[in-house]
């Protein structure tokens, strides 16, 4: 067991804490390492059909926005300057 304390061990890195999300674009899909059979399966069966995604999830977008300090709200049809 190896413990890493990011805030202490990597003070120059940006760490954005969001809830664990099986549906993240950053999460491997169930068959990512094994063709034809599931190699990764969530213990909670409610998430078995949501694991991995081809589009960004709410928390993926939130993490990118926080990283780049984008906290504004855009109105529909308005262009970003």
How do residues 1-38 score in pLDDT, each as one tens digit?
556 666 677 667 666 677 888 889 888 888 888 888 88
Q: Record the pTM.
A: 0.61
pLDDT number for residue 4: 63
Q: Is the pLDDT of residue 48 over 60?
A: yes
With respect to residue 79, please indicate whether it lies within any of the assigned structural domains.
Answer: no
With respect to residue 78, please indicate whether it lies within any of the assigned structural domains.
Answer: no
DSSP assigned state of 80: P
DSSP assigned state of 74: P
Total domain count, the chain? 1
- Range(s) of the domain holding residue 38: 1-73
With respect to residue 18, please indicate whether it lies within any of the assigned structural domains.
Answer: yes
pLDDT number for residue 7: 63
Tokens found for residue 7: 């805030």
With respect to residue 9, please indicate whether it lies within any of the assigned structural domains.
Answer: yes
Which residue, among 25, 29, 32, 27, has the nearest Cα to 64 in the 3D structure?
A: 25
Return the minimum-mean-pLDDT range out of 47-51, 70-74, 76-80. Answer: 76-80
- Angle CA 49–55–6, to nearest 5: 90
**Could you give the CA distance from residue 40 to residue 25 in angstroms, rounded to a whole number?**
15
């Amino acid at each position: 067991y190896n413990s890493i304390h990011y805030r202490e061990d990597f003070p120059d890195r940006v760490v954005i804490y969001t809830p664990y999300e099986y549906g993240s674009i950053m999460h491997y899909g169930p068959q990512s390492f094994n063709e034809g059979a599931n190699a990764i399966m969530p213990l909670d069966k409610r998430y078995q059909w949501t694991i991995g995604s081809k589009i960004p999830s709410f928390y993926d977008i939130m993490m990118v926005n926080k990283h780049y300090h984008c906290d504004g709200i855009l109105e529909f049809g308005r262009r970003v300057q």
